[in-house]
Amino acid sequence: MNDFERLLELRLKHLLDPVVATVPPRRRSRTPRRLTVLTVQSAGIELAVEAIPAIEPVPVTAQVTAVR
C-alpha cells in the first residue's frame, strides 16, 4: 500500500466513522396506517347580485412647503 492509498483510507475512515457510529433508524411498523385524503369541494359562495358603487374622486387642496 503506497502513501496515497493510505491517505485515502484514513480520510475515508475519518468521514465514515460518524456515520457508522450512529444508531440505525427504527423500522416501520407492519400495521397499515390510515392515510389522510384531501378532497376538493365547492365553497358555496354566491356572487353579489348588486354591483358595489364606485366612489367618485374628490379634489382636495394641500399645502406644499418649499424645501431649501
pTM of the model as a whole: 0.32
Instruction: Return d(Cα 68, Cα 66) in angstroms, integer.
Output: 6
Per-residue model confidence as pLDDT tens digits over 21-31: 788 888 877 76
DSSP character string of the chain: --HHHHHHHHHHHHHHHHHHHSPPPPPPPSSPPPPP--------PPPPSSPPPPPPP-------PPP-
Per-residue model confidence as pLDDT tens digits over 21-65: 788 888 877 766 777 777 777 767 776 666 667 777 777 777 777
Instruction: Return d(Cα 57, Cα 2) in angstroms, integer.
Output: 87
Per-residue model confidence as pLDDT tens digits over 3-15: 999 999 999 888 8
